Amino acid sequence: NRSGPVLNGIVGAAAGSVDGFKYSKALRAAAQDGLMWSEVELAAFLAKPKAYLKGTKMSFAGLRKEADQAAVIEYLKTFE
């Protein structure tokens, strides 16, 4: 939980739910509004994090290819 939250179990989890990580105000607000990290939401976030969630602390530019987004999500699902 230093440069980002631990992502084990992230697929299907509520956004902003990892204890011990200081989330951005934008992500905390989205979490309060009920954001859940479904595969669809994760794909949109992975494509362009800053466009998906204005004000995110995520410095990653994103993954352009849908196949790359899907591969990352499938990888994350192995840690559920």
Q: What is the pLDDT of residues 24-70, one digit of tens each?
A: 999 999 999 999 999 999 999 999 999 999 999 888 999 999 999 99
Domain locations along the chain: 1-80
Phi, psi of 14 (to 5 degrees): -70, 140
* Token pair 């466009």: residue: 51
Q: What is the pTM of this model?
A: 0.90
Residues 1-80, CATH architecture: Orthogonal Bundle (1.10)
**Does pLDDT of 1 surpass 80?**
no
- Rounded to an integer, what distance in angstroms lies between the CA atom of residue 21 and that of residue 7? 11
Q: Tell which wins on pLDDT, 63 or 1.
A: 63
**Does pLDDT of 80 surpass 90?**
no
